[in-house]
Amino acid sequence: MKDERLLIKEEQVLERIERARRRKARLREQAITLAHGSGGKASRTLVEAVFLESFGNPLLAPLDDAACLSIDGAALAFTTDSYVVSPLFFPGGDIGDLAVNGTVNDLAVSGADPLHLSAGFILEEGFAVDDLRRITASMRRAADEAGVTIVTGDTKVVERGKGDGCYINTAGVGVTRRPPSGDVRAGDAILVTGPIGEHGVTIMLARGELDIEADLPSDTAPLNGLLESLGPFAVRRMRDATRGGVATVLNEIATDHGLAAVVEEEAIPVRPVVRGACELLGIDPMYVACEGRAVIVVSGEDCEDALATLRAHPLGAEAAVIGRIKDDPPGLVLLKTAFGGTRIVDLLVGDPLPRIC
């Protein structure tokens, strides 16, 4: 994959910007493909061409991790995610804690304190009750760790061959305390809260599709405590880097704000086992899902203090500053490689790793 990417040339950049400007989301496919669930370009097009087109309203339009609502005088955040990860159990976690942590994190990066979750189960006929108990016990532990309660739920059962054991949807509500300011600007620093790509690689290894033995657990974790610690700082944006990885989050930030995200390859924390697995798979760790890492844009001034604060928390011990926001080229993510080159980090069309969450 690395080899396919282009070294940056100014005319290419200009052309791409012009293309983005002309683009109106159009879904060309007549049938859903796995790429539409990847978090990449195909997902984005589906969301814009079908969901935004049908549901379009000012609260949905930002397409953020959570919707910000004002209800009866309260400032609330509301979010949902379905989980279809395969396998259901993997080193460091399972679909249950993933479903809790994922929704907790969507609220946390919106600057909300996660409070209550719903849990909707779609079970396949024949699914082992013991596995279900293991999953619900894991959800309870994750909920306790994040300080949330599961307050409402639903269970549907589908016939054998119409599901895959267990799918879970969680929705979550929280109270918005410290929303990121949203005014990303040139000079801001870009941080990640820890090494990237671990969840995705763990799932790949758990599927046994690679002949590697590695002692790597998923990074699934609730980020609300860690992100709350950034309260004193000028935080502009926060996103959790799930499907599509850090590269996708950076692209969304660059596009949303019409600015450039320029990151240093050498500054991005990647564990050797993740790097090795990614090389064998021919994918870039920048595109691999995390389930317990956030990308944070903070003012340049607060960068060092924010980093020190993150590192003081067990879930942020390996946090790093990975780059800066710049004015040019607007809407693009640039990676400065270890060899002194610069290349565009684009959105992928699909995901090399389907059903990662």
Taking CB under 8 A as the criterion, which residues in 169-228 touch a copy of itself?
169, 171, 173, 175
Q: Is 152 in the site for a copy of itself (CB under 8 A)?
A: yes
CA-CA distances (angstroms) from residue 132 to 42, 137, 150, 182, 304?
32, 9, 16, 40, 44
7, 14, 25, 59: residue in contact with a copy of itself (rule CB under 8 A):
59
Q: Is 128 in the site for a copy of itself (CB under 8 A)?
A: yes
How far is it, in rounded angstroms, from Cα 338 to Cα 238?
26
Stretch in the footprint of a copy of itself (CB under 8 A) among 3-11, 153-161, 209-217, 311-319: 153-161
Stretch in the footprint of a copy of itself (CB under 8 A) among 111-119, 212-220, 228-236, 270-278: 111-119
How far is it, in rounded angstroms, from Cα 269 to Cα 285?
10
Task: Tell me whether residue 124 or residue 318 sits nearer to a copy of itself (CB atom).
Answer: 124
13, 40, 79, 273: residue in contact with a copy of itself (rule CB under 8 A):
79
Task: Tell me whether residue 83 or residue 90 sits nearer to a copy of itself (CB atom).
Answer: 83
DSSP 51: I
Q: Is 349 in the site for a copy of itself (CB under 8 A)?
A: no
Q: Which residues pair with 71 in a beta bridge?
A: 74
Report, in Å, the least distance between residue 354 CB and a copy of itself. 7
How far is it, in rounded angstroms, from Cα 252 to Cα 246?
10
How far is it, in rounded angstroms, from Cα 65 to Cα 355?
19
Q: Is 74 in the site for a copy of itself (CB under 8 A)?
A: yes
Stretch in the footprint of a copy of itself (CB under 8 A) among 60-68, 221-229, 268-276, 283-291: 60-68
The four Cα atoms 280, 286, 288, 292 give a dihedral, to 10 degrees, of 130
Q: Is 150 in the site for a copy of itself (CB under 8 A)?
A: yes
115 and 148 Cβ atoms separated by less than 8 Å: yes
Task: Tell me whether residue 169 or residue 299 sits nearer to a copy of itself (CB atom).
Answer: 169
136, 181, 229, 337: residue in contact with a copy of itself (rule CB under 8 A):
136
Helix/strand/coil for 10: helix
Number of residues that bind a copy of itself (CB under 8 A): 82
Task: Tell me whether residue 14 or residue 63 sits nearer to a copy of itself (CB atom).
Answer: 63
Of the candidates 258, 243, 226, the residue with the CA atom closest to the CA atom of residue 333: 258
Stretch in the footprint of a copy of itself (CB under 8 A) among 112-120, 200-208, 249-257, 300-308: 112-120
Phi, psi of 342 (to 5 degrees): -130, 135
Report, in Å, the least distance between residue 43 CB and a copy of itself. 7
200 and 245 Cβ atoms separated by less than 8 Å: yes
Phi, psi of 117 (to 5 degrees): -120, 155
Residue 204, Cβ neighbours under 10 Å: how many? 23
Which positions from 231 to 270 touch a copy of itself by CB under 8 A, shown as an x/- string?
----------------------------------------
Stretch in the footprint of a copy of itself (CB under 8 A) among 12-20, 72-80, 264-272, 303-311: 72-80
Q: Is 122 in the site for a copy of itself (CB under 8 A)?
A: yes
Q: Is 137 in the site for a copy of itself (CB under 8 A)?
A: yes
Stretch in the footprint of a copy of itself (CB under 8 A) among 87-95, 133-141, 282-290, 298-306: 133-141
Report, in Å, the least distance between residue 70 CB and a copy of itself. 9
How far is it, in rounded angstroms, from Cα 246 to Cα 295?
7
End-to-end CA distance of the chain: 22
Stretch in the footprint of a copy of itself (CB under 8 A) among 8-16, 45-53, 178-186, 261-269: 45-53
Q: Which residues pair with 154 in a beta bridge?
A: 120
* Ramachandran area for residue 127 (φ above 0: left; ψ -120 to 50: alpha; else beta): beta
Of the candidates 310, 283, 270, 278, the residue with the CA atom closest to the CA atom of residue 294: 310
